[in-house]
Amino acid sequence: MISAGVAVGLLVFHQAWQASYWPSIDDQPPLGVPQAEVPTESWLALEAVMSEVPMAYADAMRYALVGHGLPQETEVWRMASDSLQALSALRGASPIVSPPRGPTTQGSQADLIPLVPLAQAQMLRGWDRYSGGDAGKGAQDILQADRLGQRLADGSQSPLMSVVGAAIQGQALRELQELLSVSHEPSVHALVAERLPRQAPQEDRFRAVLQRECSDIEALLMDPLQSAEAVGRPMDPKSLPSVLYDTDATVAQHRKWCREADAWMGLPLDQRGDPPAYLPEGISETLAYNRTGIEYMKVVSPEGALGMAGHIPEARLQRDVLRLLTAARLYGYANGGQLPAEAGALVPEFLPSLPLDPFTGDELEIEHGEIEDSEGEWIKITLPRAQAEP
């Protein structure tokens, strides 16, 4: 059995070799980090709303929206009526800008989760109004849920808030698709066509959030003991893991990844491929001996958040497909029920210009009564023959 002294000696030797493997921190400059914005009063008001949302109804909201077409239990939104009323006061307020997430604020981010069932309640209220005969108000409610997701993404200074905003928008877009498939009122389609172009995800914002996250993680790596609060594992600063923590090599490889990730997000969408791996070969094996360090890296690694960047162009594609869909139907209402033979016929009367496929940059086209995306798979939206008279 190898003695403890020999084991420590081997680890120290490995650390010395590892330090020579990675360049010095001085040779790996960090990214220029965007200056953090001060949280707005709207954020404080949103925090108050989130703290009052009863999560007991979360499952009911989610299950009510499962499937296609009109939900069977549209009235379950009334369980959240008080919270929705409080949320409505934020619609015309200043932008919702969240605080940046520091090295020890991981736990508080879970407070964003109540926004998901609250947004689902907003969509169900829209369906309830539709079933009550007011399709216009129904569309407005679902668009308001989409707008909430947009405002979260616009004001995000943490990856989780960006992810929550994208998730809300994704579900709102799906509900809008269902509403448009059952509603034959041109006013509803006109409302959707008018509002959607102003609610597109902002990818540049996500890139800024990534840079801020890189800065927060680096601050922790420079002083690993800061992670004790984040992971709930107090550690003696004189313990062996602290001594063996390979700070220089770890910070250097982290900076390398952040620069690669920033360059990856700067590429055109059709050239990106998979995001760079967060732990390149050669990371110090002694990192595993620092239990606080390795657990925190698992929690805050931005690689998972970077993967969400792929959902942003997908949501943009869905939104632009809806724009094309509603414009084509409005064309049908104005032309005796005939849909346009090609998308270009919608410009400029029904669309100022054709929306672009975010994956290729090509104009979206109408083919065989459906809209095809850049990867050859059919978007599940049909363009049925529009009624001559709504």
- The answer to whether residues 333 and 387 touch, using CB atoms and an 8 Å cutoff, is yes
Q: Is residue 151 part of a domain?
A: yes
pLDDT higher for 117 or 111?
Answer: 117
Distance, C-alpha 318 to centroid of its chain? 14
For residues 5-22, give the mean pLDDT. Answer: 61
Judge whether residue 157 has pLDDT over 90: no
> What's the pLDDT score for residue 7?
57
The helix/strand/coil state of 381 is strand
Q: Is residue 202 part of a domain?
A: no
Judge whether residue 387 has pLDDT over 60: no
Rounded-to-integer distance, Cα 188 and Cα 14, Å = 67
Query: Which residue range is the domain that position 159 belongs to?
Result: 41-100+114-183
pLDDT higher for 82 or 244?
Answer: 82
Residues 41-81: tens digit of each pLDDT? 999 899 899 989 988 999 999 999 988 888 989 999 999 99
Structural tokens at position 107: 């736990």
> What's the pLDDT score for residue 384?
41
- The answer to whether residues 134 and 283 touch, using CB atoms and an 8 Å cutoff, is no
Judge whether residue 94 has pLDDT over 50: yes
Residues 336-371: tens digit of each pLDDT? 877 787 889 999 999 999 988 888 788 888 765 554
Q: Is residue 95 part of a domain?
A: yes
- The answer to whether residues 89 and 80 touch, using CB atoms and an 8 Å cutoff, is no
Structural tokens at position 216: 């927060």
Judge whether residue 289 has pLDDT over 50: no
Q: Is residue 136 part of a domain?
A: yes
Q: Is residue 306 part of a domain?
A: no
Judge whether residue 375 has pLDDT over 70: no
Q: Is residue 266 part of a domain?
A: no
Q: Distance from first CA to last CA of the chain, Å, rounded? A: 84
> What's the pLDDT score for residue 240?
42
Rounded-to-integer distance, Cα 220 and Cα 270, Å = 34
The residue type found at 178 is: E
Rounded-to-integer distance, Cα 197 and Cα 323, Å = 8
> What's the pLDDT score for residue 93?
66
Q: Is residue 75 part of a domain?
A: yes
pLDDT higher for 101 or 324?
Answer: 324
Structural tokens at position 305: 């958040």
Domain count of the chain? 1
Element (H, E) at 280: none
Q: Is residue 46 part of a domain?
A: yes
